[in-house]
Each structure stands twice: as structure tokens, then as C-alpha cells.
């Protein structure tokens, strides 16, 4: 749809009624360099809202942006048919020129699979598109550029019967993607075969508003290093690596589930120039934040892991006392790096606090007592064990903490 204006519940309802009846709708984001969430039908959640890019994959200076935009497509100096004659053309710019690219791509996807519902069609389009290449996408915008060749086999005709026919579509074992459906899975490139050197993949996960993301690793084997500086999976809270790091993972131990605080999670996978392993596979699920398990302490012996306050990323409760025991092998030491810290502050950390001790018990030498929101420097043990205790008093609760440990 190449139309739009101010926010209109009637316009939104009309578009959503079409989608409810099985007709997917692509809508222009608008051309005012403003937040598309203030425009209708651009703000409609079920629709595919399209922003515009130029020939250099930069967001067009006029294109609206924001969390209501779903995808970008070319929209600058686009030549198309025009009024004035049967062969008249014109080159113009606007999100109304970007939107038909997406509508056409949707038609191609439906031609390949007519059974796609509007929700499945939108999800397939977003998951197959290219993430991270749009320059200056605008605050809140998904950095997603239209691309469906991997799904459609580059436009070649598909033979659904003969599985060895070279024109059958190949499901890509890709590097990165966008996932907004609970139950989605993704993996490292080439999985279950070894990933390549010099990988740099980004995966963006978005749950419905009001829900959080649970990321569960079903298989995990990466090159191990004490601080995961070689090959690593890093998980961030939000839609980019500028968010709080929730986990920094490597080695062969299957990590515990990771939870977002809001409805978005960003996952990066990088590998260096030498040594490769089988990689990882992961499962995405969405839930209410109240459903997050509220575990309190545990014992860790894997090469690395993530310690969190009970219920993280939801707020911790009052009157909590949790003990975490990290135990390495003889000759190893332990590092502990706080990824996020939001614990009630006092100058002496006497109310709520995280206590770190050099050894295996509450009587071991005190290394640090942490509270507030300022991340401390990485803490190191002198031996093979580290004791961590989280304590809260009877009033005031905050966001809690997340910390990554590594056996060195």
C-alpha cells in the first residue's frame, strides 16, 4: 500500500482485517524522516512495513524509521511505469517505491509455497533477508534488507518431486538471520559440520511486545579459550551489540538457557583465523517474564558459564541468599566478569550485594563485595575455585546481575 498519514485506528483495523482474512499487506513506512509508529497503516503490527534505502544500502534521508518498520528495500531513483502513455516511465523516490519490491517478493514466496499464511510469509521473508548491511537505519529500526534468493533458489523453477534435481531449493545453512516466531531454530554456518574460519554472524530475535526471549542451546562445541577471545557466541540484551551482554560463550559445555529482559535479543557468532569445531544449534522460545525459572545458586565445573541472580533478567526478590560454587581442575584458576549489574547501592554494600571469595567457602579470602550499577574489573582467583554469594535484605529489589566465569 502506497498510502499513509497520521495514526488512525480505523485504517489499522482495515489493514488488519485483510490480513486476518489471509491477504498479506505490505505498507510504506512514510517519507518524513520520523518514527513510523506515528503513522497509519505503517504502525500496524501484522503488516509488513517497508522503509527505503538508496543504491549504497543507506537509509534514504526521507524514510521513516523505528520499531514499527519491519524491513528496508530500494526506494531511491526507482524507474517504473508512469502516466501519460502505454510506454511512459519515470524515476522517483519514496517508501512507496520501496514497498512494491516487498510486495513482489511476497508474491514470489507465495508462488513457491501457496500454503503460507500471512504470519508465516512475513516470518519467512524476514528470516531470509540480509541483516546488518543498512547504514543508519534509524533509532529502533531492524537492520534488515530485503533478500529472498536463498528461499527461491535464485528464481529458478522448483521441482518439488525429485530431491536430487539441481533446481530444487536448498535450505541455506546461513550466517545470521531474523527470528520472530517462537520455536524457531538456528545454528552456526555448516552445522553440524565445522564452521569456517573468520565467521562473523548476527542473529536477531524479536518476541511479541510484553514477552521475553529464552535462548536454549541444544548442541555446543567451539574452540575453548579462557576469555573466549578466539571463537565465541555472545548474547546481548536488545537488538544490537550495544545492549548489555548477557553471555560470552565458548568451549564444549552446553550453556544454560539465556533470557532477555525485553522482547529482543541479539546473538553474534565469530571465529578467528585458525581452528574450527562443529559449532552450535539453538532453539528460540517466547514467554512471560514471570515464567523465567528463579534458580538460586549452583555448582559449576564446565570451562565457562554464566551466573545470574534468581529470575534474571526479572528483578530479584527480598531476603535471598544464594551460593555459587565454581570449581576447576588442579592448576587452573577462575576469572569472573560481570556482564550486567543492578543491585541496591550503599557505600558499604550492606543491603544487597554480591560477595566473591578466593576459594570454595564463605570463610575463604574476600576478593570483592559488589553492589550498585558500576561494573567492576574482572576478578581472578589464586587457585582452582571461586565462591560467590548473593544476598538481599528485606526491602528494595532491582534488576540483579549476570556474570561470566572462565576456567583459566
Q: Is residue 97 part of a domain?
A: yes
Q: Buried (b) or exposed (e) across 83-121, using 16+ Cβ within 10 A?
A: eeeeeeeeeebbbbbbbbbbbebbeebeebeeebebeeb
Residue 149: pLDDT band (50, 70, 90) is: low
Residue 163: pLDDT band (50, 70, 90) is: very low
As a 3-state breakdown, the chain gives helix, strand, coil percent values, each rounded to 5, of 15, 35, 50
Q: Mark whether 304 and 403 lie in a shared domain.
A: yes
Q: Can you say how many angstroms the Cα of residue 42 is from the centroid of all Cα atoms in its chain?
A: 23
Q: For the whole model, what pTM was predicted?
A: 0.47
Q: Mark whether 304 and 276 lie in a shared domain.
A: no
Residue that is last in its domain, among 230, 261, 288: 288
Tens of pLDDT, residue by residue over 57-112, are 999 998 999 988 989 999 898 988 878 888 877 788 889 888 899 989 888 888 77
Q: Mark whether 249 and 304 lie in a shared domain.
A: no
Out of 25-34, 46-55, 64-73, 117-126, which region has the weakest mean confidence (pLDDT)? 117-126
Q: Mark whether 19 and 100 lie in a shared domain.
A: yes
**Helix (H) and strand (E) counts for the chain?**
4, 27
Which range of residues forms the domain containing residue 215?
Answer: 176-288
* Residue pair 258/283 in contact by the 8 Å Cβ criterion: no
Q: At 132, which CATH number?
A: 3.40.50.200
Q: Mark whether 134 and 247 lie in a shared domain.
A: no
Portion of the chain with pLDDT greater than 90, in percent: 38
Residue that is last in its domain, among 262, 288, 314: 288
Q: Is residue 161 part of a domain?
A: no
Q: What is the pLDDT of residue 127?
A: 67
Q: Which residue has the higher pLDDT, 402 or 305?
A: 402
Q: At 206, which CATH number?
A: 2.60.120.290
What is the number of structural domains in the chain? 3
Tens of pLDDT, residue by residue over 205-229, are 999 988 989 999 999 999 988 788 9
Cell numbers representing residue 4 in the block: 499513509
Q: Where are the alpha helices (DSSP H) in 113-162?
A: 118-128, 149-152
Q: Is residue 162 part of a domain?
A: no
Pairing between β-strand 48-53 and β-strand 71-74 as defined by DSSP bridges: parallel
In the sheet with 48-53, reading across from the earlier edge strand, the strands are: 26-28, 48-53, 71-74, 144-145, 130-131
Q: Mark whether 396 and 359 lie in a shared domain.
A: yes
Cell numbers representing residue 299 in the block: 555448582
Q: Is residue 361 part of a domain?
A: yes
Average pLDDT for the chain: 85
Give the relative orientation of helices 118-128 and 95-112 as an angle to the nearest 10 degrees: 110
Q: Is residue 157 part of a domain?
A: no
Residue 174: pLDDT band (50, 70, 90) is: low
Tens of pLDDT, residue by residue over 317-355, are 899 899 999 999 999 999 999 988 999 999 999 999 999
Residue with cell 503490527: 45
Q: Mark whether 309 and 400 lie in a shared domain.
A: yes
Q: Mark whether 12 and 147 lie in a shared domain.
A: yes
Apex CA 158: angle with CA 157 and CA 160, to 5°? 155
Q: Mark whether 126 and 220 lie in a shared domain.
A: no
CA distances from 45 to 3, 99, 322 (A): 16, 16, 41
Measured CA to CA, the distance from residue 285 to residue 180 in angstroms comes to 9
What three-state secondary structure class fits 107? helix
Q: What is the pLDDT of residue 168?
A: 36
Q: Is residue 252 part of a domain?
A: yes
Q: Is residue 171 part of a domain?
A: no
pLDDT for 150 beyond 60? no
Residue among 368, 215, 189, 369 nearest 282 (CA): 215
Q: Mark whether 52 and 146 lie in a shared domain.
A: yes
Residue that is last in its domain, among 288, 310, 330: 288
Q: Is residue 167 part of a domain?
A: no
Q: Mark whether 304 and 393 lie in a shared domain.
A: yes
For the residues 273-279, what does the mean pLDDT come to?
93
Q: Mark whether 101 and 206 lie in a shared domain.
A: no
Amino acid at each position: 500500500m502506497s498510502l499513509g498519514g497520521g495514526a488512525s485506528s480505523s485504517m489499522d483495523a482495515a489493514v488488519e482485517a485483510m490480513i486476518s482474512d489471509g491477504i498479506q499487506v505490505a505498507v510504506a513506512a512514510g517519507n518524513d524522516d520520523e518514527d513510523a509508529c506515528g503513522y497509519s497503516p505503517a504502525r500496524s503490527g501484522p503488516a509488513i512495513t517497508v522503509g527505503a534505502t538508496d543504491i549504497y544500502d543507506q537509509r534514504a534521508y526521507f524514510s521513516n524509521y523505528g520499531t514499527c518498520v519491519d524491513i528496508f528495500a530500494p526506494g531511491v531513483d526507482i524507474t517504473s511505469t508512469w502516466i501519460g502513455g502505454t510506454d511512459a516511465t519515470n524515476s522517483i523516490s519514496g517508501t512507496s517505491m520501496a514497498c512494491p519490491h516487498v510486495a513482489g517478493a511476497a508474491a514470489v514466496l507465495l508462488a513457491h509455497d501457496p500454503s503460507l499464511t500471512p504470519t508465516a510469509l512475513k516470518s519467512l521473508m524476514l528470516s531470509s533477508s540480509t541483516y546488518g548491511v543498512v547504514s543508519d537505519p534509524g533509532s529502533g529500526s531492524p537492520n534488515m534488507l530485503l533478500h529472498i534468493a536463498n528461499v527461491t533458489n535464485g528464481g529458478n523453477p522448483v521441482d518439488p518431486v525429485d530431491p536430487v534435481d539441481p533446481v530444487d531449493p536448498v535450505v541455506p545453512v546461513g550466517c545470521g538471520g531474523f527470528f520472530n516466531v517462537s520455536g524457531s531454530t538456528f545454528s552456526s554456518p555448516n552445522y553440524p559440520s565445522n564452521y569456517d574460519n573468520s565467521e562473523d554472524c548476527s542473529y536477531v530475535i524479536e518476541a511479541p511486545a510484553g514477552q521475553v526471549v529464552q535462548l536454549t542451546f541444544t548442541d555446543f562445541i567451539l574452540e575453548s579459550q579462557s576469555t573466549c577471545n578466539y571463537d565465541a557466541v555472545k548474547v546481548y540484551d536488545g537488538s544490537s551489540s550495544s545492549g548489555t551482554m548477557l553471555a560470552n560463550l565458548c568451549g564444549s559445555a552446553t550453556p544454560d538457557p539465556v533470557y532477555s529482559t525485553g522482547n529482543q535479543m541479539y546473538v553474534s557468532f565469530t571465529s578467528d583465523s585458525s581452528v574450527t569445531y562443529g559449532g552450535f544449534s539453538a532453539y528460540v522460545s517466547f514467554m512471560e517474564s514471570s515464567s523465567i525459572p528463579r534458580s538460586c545458586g549452583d555448582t559449576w565445573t564446565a570451562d565457562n558459564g554464566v551466573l545470574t541472580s534468581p529470575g534474571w533478567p526479572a528483578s530479584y526478590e527480598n531476603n535471598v541468599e544464594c551460593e555459587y560454587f565454581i570449581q576447576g581442575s588442579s592448576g587452573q584458576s577462575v576469572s569472573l566478569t560481570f556482564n550486567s549489574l543492578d543491585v541496591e547501592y550503599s557505600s558499604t554494600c550492606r543491603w544487597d550485594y554480591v560477595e566473591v571469595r578466593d576459594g570454595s567457602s564463605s570463610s575463604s579470602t574476600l576478593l570483592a563485595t559488589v553492589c550498585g550499577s558500576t561494573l567492576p574489573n574482572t576478578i581472578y582467583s589464586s587457585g582452582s575455585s571461586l565462591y560467590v554469594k548473593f544476598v538481599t535484605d528485606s526491602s528494595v529489589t532491582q534488576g540483579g546481575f549476570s556474570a561470566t566465569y572462565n576456567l583459566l
